[in-house]
Amino acid sequence: MTRLMKALVKARPEPGLWMQDVPVPRIGPDDVLVKVTRTGICGTDLHIYKWDRWAQGAVPVPMTIGHEYSGTVAELGANVTHFKIGQRVSGEGHVIGFKSRASRAGRFHLDPETKGVGVNLPGAFAEYVKIPAFNIVPLPDAVDDELAAILDPLGNAVHTALAFDLVGEDILITGAGPIGIMSAAVARHVGARHIVITDPNDHRLALAKNVVPSVITINTSDDLRALANGLGMTEGFDIGFEMSGAPAALATLSEHLVMGGRIAMLGLPARPFEYDFSKMVLKMLTIKGIYGREMFETWHKMLAMLQSGLDVRPVITNRFRAEDFETAFQSAVQGGAGKIVLEW
C-alpha cells in the first residue's frame, strides 16, 4: 500500500504552489529518509512560486520544491550504518555525481553534474524527503531545528565571507537581504574591523542593524565615499561581498575598494549586464564567484561558529505553519522580511 504525505508542489506550469498528497519517497540502499520538522523559504523558491523565466527553464513539473530543511532520520538505506533512527539532521541540497575530475579530487562543490534538491530532484517542502546519506549533516545539540532550517543560506554567507582573510580588514557588503546580513555577522565573528552594508531598502538595513548591531548601514542613495572617509578609509575598503545581483552593485564595489581589493560575488544577476572591466584591470581587483557551499568544509565551519557564539537567529522574522504557505510566500514576495520558516 502506497504511503502518502503532504507536500508543497509546483503542480502546474504557472504562478503558484499547491499543497497535495503525494507518495512518501522510497529510498535506495545509500539514501536516508528524513522526517521534516522545519523548512526555510529561499529566493529560489520564490522564483519557482512566481514561475519566472529561470524557473520555467530549470524546474520540471510537477515537482515538490524546497531545499532548506531540518528533521530527524526516519529510515535508513541498507548500506547506511553511520546514522541512527531519530537522529537530528540537516543536509547539503546539492546532489553530486562522482565521475568528474573535481569530485574525484574532493572538490565536490565544483562537480558539473550537480542537481538541486527541490529544483531538479523532489524537495523538502514535505513531511518527508529522500536525501543521499553522503549529503546528510548531523546536528549538534546547540543548533536547534529552527536554526538548522536556515543552514543552507547561512552556508552561502559563510562561503562568501570566508573566501578571503577578513581579520582586521574593512568590508563593504552590497545587498542587505538575509544572506548579506548573515555574511556581516560572520565577518564580525571572525575579526573584520569596519563592516558597512548598503541597500536601497531601509527596512532591510534596519534588520541588518538588529542582527549585527555593530554593522554600519547606508542607503545606496547616500554618500558612501564620505562615510568611508569618515571611518578613516581614505583608500577604500579592502574586501567586498556582492550579495544583491544588482548591476550597479559591482560598479559600486569596483569604485570603493582599495587597489588590489578583493570581491566575493554571490549575487546572481537576473540577466547579463555591462561592466567596465578597465576598473578591474587598473585597480588589479580579484573577483571570485561564489555558489552554494564547499562540501563539507563550509558546514563544519558554520556549525563551529554557531557553537562558539555566532548569532543569526534575529534574521528569522516570520514563522508559519506549513498549511499557511500562501501567506508565507506572499510575505516573502512583498519584500522587507528576513528569513521565513515553515513548521511541518
Cell digits for 323? Answer: 498549511
Q: How far is CA 3 from the centre of its chain?
A: 32
Residue (of 298, 343, 328, 46) closest to 151 by Cα position: 298
Rounded to an integer, what distance in angstroms lies between the CA atom of residue 143 and that of residue 139? 6
Do residues 89 and 136 touch, judged by C-beta distance below 8 A? yes
Cβ-based neighbours of 184, under 8 Å, separated by 6 or more: 171, 173, 195, 197, 208, 211, 212, 215
Report the C-alpha dihedral over residues 8, 118, 314, 178, rounded to 10 degrees: -120
Report the DSSP pairing between strands 339-343 and 31-40: antiparallel
Catalytic residue annotation: 44, 47
Do residues 146 and 169 touch, judged by C-beta distance below 8 A? no
